[in-house]
Amino acid sequence: MKARESGMPEEAYWESFFDADATMELLFSTSGLGGHLVEFGCGYGTFTVPAALHTHGIVTALDIDPLMVEHVRHKAEALALSNVQVEMRDFVAQGSGLDSGTQDHALIFNLLHLEQPLVLLQEAHRVLHDGGMLFIMHWRSDIPTPRGPSLAIRPRPEQCKAWLEEAGFQNVEWVNMQYCCPYHFGLIARR
């Protein structure tokens, strides 16, 4: 199920909205370098590559768009990142294909505007081991942003927190994304 979206812009423009390296440093500083990580909706691999450089485990990058999957696969090969596995998958309708409790970290960035966010959060909860961490980032709705889905479908941080708790996550914390992703808010939660 493709998420309701505003469309992906050209890669360089897309990547101008984030400091992906600083984002990964911020997120991993709260949980330490870990093992396996699943990224739901890898897009251009903006966060896939920095995640792979911050962990010794396997980064499983999932996306429904075959062009994005091929793009990330080529990017990982060009950088000789042997710990990146890219797969085309409709993870909302079919799940991630990963075994339960096998992931240390999960990333869900700019996706919770989809029609069934709780299904995705439940899948992230399922694949994380006890104590595993989920990182959420989404476009803010309290300020003008140059991109992102329509304001009508953007979730508010409070709504995301409620969904996380409903999906079984604990210790939900706000993450200050101002210096690395000023158009976004962030949350971290533990399984």
Q: What is the pLDDT of residues 93-138, one digit of tens each?
A: 999 999 999 999 999 999 999 989 999 999 999 999 999 999 999 9
Structure confidence at residue 7 (pLDDT): 65
- pLDDT tens-place string over residues 43-98: 999 999 999 988 889 999 999 999 999 999 999 999 999 999 999 999 999 999 99
> d(Cα 128, Cα 190) in Å, to the nearest integer?
9
Q: Does domain 19-190 have CATH number 3.60.21.10?
A: no
Domain boundaries, the chain: 19-190
- pLDDT tens-place string over residues 161-191: 999 999 999 999 999 888 899 999 999 999 9
3-class DSSP assignment, residue 163: helix
How much is the pTM?
0.91
Backbone angles phi, psi at 104, to 5 degrees: -90, -30
Tell me the pLDDT band of 4, cut-offs 50, 70 and 90: very low
Residue 44 vs residues 26, 125, 164, 169, 172: alpha-carbon distances, Å: 21, 24, 26, 28, 28
Structure confidence at residue 26 (pLDDT): 82
